[in-house]
Amino acid sequence: MQNIIATHKYLLPLIVGLLIGSCNTTEPVVRHESIHGKSVETIVEMMTLSEKVGQMTQAGRNYLVKEKDIKDYYLGSLLSGGGSAPRNNEPSSWADMLDGYQAVAAETRLGIPLMYGIDAIHGHNNVVGATIFPHNIGLGATGNAVLVEEIARITAKEVRATGINWTFDPCVANSRDERWGRAYESYGEDPALISALGRAQVEGYQGASLSSPEAIAACTKHYIGDGAPTWGTGSGGNIDRGDAQISEAELRYLHLPPYLAAIQAETATIMASYNSWNGLKLHGHKYLMTDLLKGELGYEGFIISDWAAIDELPGNYKSDIIESINAGVDMVMVPGNTSGSGSSYRDFIKKLKQAVNEGSIEMSRIDDAVTRILNVKKRMGLLDALYSNDRSLIASVGSSEHRAVARQAVRESVVMLKNEGVLPLSKDLATIVVAGRGADNVGMQCGGWSIAWQGGMGNITPGTTVLDGIQAAVSPSTQVIHSPDGLAAANGDAVIVVVGEAPYAEGHGDRDDLSLSNEDISVLNRVQASGKPMVVILLSGRPMIISDIVEASDAFLAAWLPGTEGNGITDVIFGDYNPSGKLSVTWPTGMSQIPINLGDSNYSPLFPVGFGLSF
């Protein structure tokens, strides 16, 4: 790829641009120029309106009309949404795809490389074979910022192996309602814990230098109050993308500190949130984005919109563009078709240029946005050297060393809620029965945002299930019986039952009833009726309604959504690791208590924040 770029560096002038001067719509021929070694200020002065607007545009790679549009529209960024992968979803195919896109970007007049974004939110979770770590709610239970930073460093390495240089993470939401379908993307309900772990992830992703070949740009999200909406104000009458009906004092106390911590860690980017604050959508909220974030907090990176999120502003698409850019959004994620005809990034670019030429958006606002974007690209080393992708990193994707860290994260995240002297189990029991739909299910362990946007059940990617971990841990003389329906429970000296939530993401996970499924309850009842010691493992993205089940069990472990390394759970079951996880969220007794958070006036949960037993 370097040869391709080097060749284009010395091409004779070929490209005609539009010199806007003072927003003029006609301009003379401009020449192919090198930007290497030039200041951002100089580069911005060199740019045409078309080039500036292109840098402010992020298109979805699966919505590209043709790859040549990267060049023709001077696109500054592409992304892969959940499930948007090359035909062969393996690291080398991703790297080939990215090299191709960067080669096209190199053909533009200024040859500015792309920022390519992806939701690598618990490992490089879109790529088959990558290491998938516990979701944030599990990491919150570890309380281990050093471990979280190491996880982010490993994730960055695996992401860079595929040619990608930007992750839409960390999510520093303070989830205030367990019914929210994104609750597992939150570390917990304590702003100090969220701040510490969010900062650790930023530092892990970006490393000592953002220009390192193993570093990626972080995107702290979703600014702001995404976990605070009132039930019934969101999409479909639920909570996701709803209205945070809270005071500014509460917003600042519970939801702002993680962003200050991320800014102190020099997060490259911040993503605006879908939600509203007291009736006004965040993507049009100038006070929160420009006055507070960029002004009061001094944020110098750039703000990117969420997936087609400006479309949710009131008015038509052009007014959405004007409102969001003037409010402080610097780069707009325009992944799909917003106009009903053609491609949305083409429509966005056309209407943004019209708005500038009409004076609805000042050129100074455009220059500010482009300067912020190019400053980040300069920190990433994208403006000062030929783009290159280190293929030697591919061998690290899903490596045993990385999986060992994931296994450590799993065992540190497990919270033991009950133990009546049953755990740790002996590895020398004659027979262990393993029941429940989650016992041999990597997809259920991983949850949403795993290979596909909503995740999926079954063998979605290589990993170790709970059943695998049990079989590997016990002595050769122990018989392990896999009985998903629990019918074989009477044959065991002990029964391990793995139940919980099927995978989901975002609004699809909003639920007004957090009870276990009828299938799970039937298995649990069957096992309980056997009279054998029952160890329950719950795979979930949030606290579930389990009061009766905890009472009926002999031991109960909250394992959250642990990812690909289920043997971290069995490390706890058999006593190879003394459980240390502590609840970072409040566990309700029933639906009538939800929402419930530490500090509520009538705080009497099933388990409080900080609860967690050890042997």
Q: Just list the catalytic residues.
A: 306
Nearest to 377 by CA among 54, 71, 19: 54
402 upstream amide cis, omega within 30 of 0: no
Nearest to 352 by CA among 53, 15, 123: 53
Q: What would the two tokens of residue 316 be?
A: 């038509």
What residue type is 286 in one-letter code?
K
Q: How far is CA 447 from CA 81, 237, 502, in A?
A: 16, 24, 7
What residue type is 77 in one-letter code?
S
Q: Which residues neighbour 29 within 8 Å (Cβ) at sequence distance 6 or greater?
A: 13, 16, 17
Q: Which residues neighbour 421 within 8 Å (Cβ) at sequence distance 6 or greater?
A: none
Taking the C-alpha atoms of residue 530 and residue 488, their distance in angstroms, rounded to an integer, is 9
DSSP letter, residue 253:
I
Taking the C-alpha atoms of residue 406 and residue 565, their distance in angstroms, rounded to an integer, is 6
Taking the C-alpha atoms of residue 171 and residue 561, their distance in angstroms, rounded to an integer, is 16
Q: Which residues neighbour 433 within 8 Å (Cβ) at sequence distance 6 or greater?
A: 481, 483, 486, 488, 489, 491, 492, 494, 495, 496, 527, 532
| Partners of 418 in the β-ladder | 556
**Phi-psi region for residue 302, left (φ > 0), alpha (ψ -120 to 50) or beta?**
beta
424 upstream amide cis, omega within 30 of 0: yes
Taking the C-alpha atoms of residue 560 and residue 135, their distance in angstroms, rounded to an integer, is 8
Q: What is the H or E stretch that residue 411 is in?
A: helix 400-413
Q: What would the two tokens of residue 216 be?
A: 């990626």
